[in-house]
Amino acid sequence: MPLPDLSPDLSPEASPEVTPDSLRPTQRADDVADPSTACGEPLRRCALSLADEAATDAFAARLAAALSPGHVVWLCGTLGAGKTTLVRGLLRALGHEGPVRSPTFTLLEPYAFARFAVYHFDLYRFASAHEWHDAGFDDYFGKTGVCLVEWPEQAAGAVPAPDVRIALAFSGEPGASSQRSVTLEAWTQAGLRCVNAIVDGC
Ligand SMILES: Nc1ncnc2c1ncn2[C@@H]1O[C@H](COP(=O)(O)OP(=O)(O)OP(=O)(O)O)[C@@H](O)[C@H]1O
Ligand SMILES: [Mg+2]
């Protein structure tokens, strides 16, 4: 399934403002092979353009195929950028047939698949890092499930660092176009394998 408008590098001015490093996440040191990560640089960063929702679904399917148990994926971007739409495409690619609700109020929506469980977080209404621990969300990370986290910046300092960070943005005026730009970043070796599989098909 080809990805449209794939380019290998992202210009600095196009870099998103919020990075895992700037949020001081709990980086898993044992999984970081490249010292540059400690300086706030991902192991790989790619820019993609998604023309419409069908392209987002195609990207989501490639992401689904590239994920492994234990992966943590941050989904960044403003309201309506397409984070939940991407999750919906991913869940459908994994075989989910029911509705996909945005867990804006429940914060977490779990899904069970043969390959792994998927935990979909939406932290938009998260107030403080204390809530993270009170809710017991750490129990979902670093195990056999895949965690997809919308609005990770709302739980900065508590939410575990990502293997893969995906930032979606409107291309042009919000609502004026269905085109989205995507920044895909690998922050761990596991994330790098995932990003390589998506971008290079290897
Ligand atoms: N290429 C595209 N990719 C994703 N969504 C698109 C695209 N083009 C149009 N859309 C529309 O944009 C909207 C994206 O909404 P969505 O709920 O996925 O955003 P979100 O980033 O999760 O927002 P929020 O921060 O409120 O959770 C949907 O109505 C979707 O149909
Ligand atoms: Mg959403």
Does 95 sit in the ligand 1 pocket, CB within 6 Å? no
Q: Do the Cβ atoms of 87 and 115 come closer than 8 Å?
A: no
Torsion of CA 167, 41, 48, 28, to 10 degrees: -60
DSSP 22: T
Q: How confident is the model at residue 34 (pLDDT cuts 50, 70, 90)?
A: very low
36 vs 104, which has greater pLDDT?
A: 104
Output the CA torsion sign for 150, 152, 200, 113: negative
74 vs 133, which has greater pLDDT?
A: 74
Residue 157 CB contacts under 8 Å (≥ 6 apart), including other chains = 23, 24, 25, 129
Global pTM reads 0.85
Whether 41 has a pLDDT exceeding 50, the answer reads: yes
Pocket test for ligand 1, best of 84, 120, 179 (most atoms within 8 A of CB): 84
Whether 9 has a pLDDT exceeding 60, the answer reads: no
Does 79 sit in the ligand 1 pocket, CB within 6 Å? yes
For residue 103, the model assigns a pLDDT of: 92
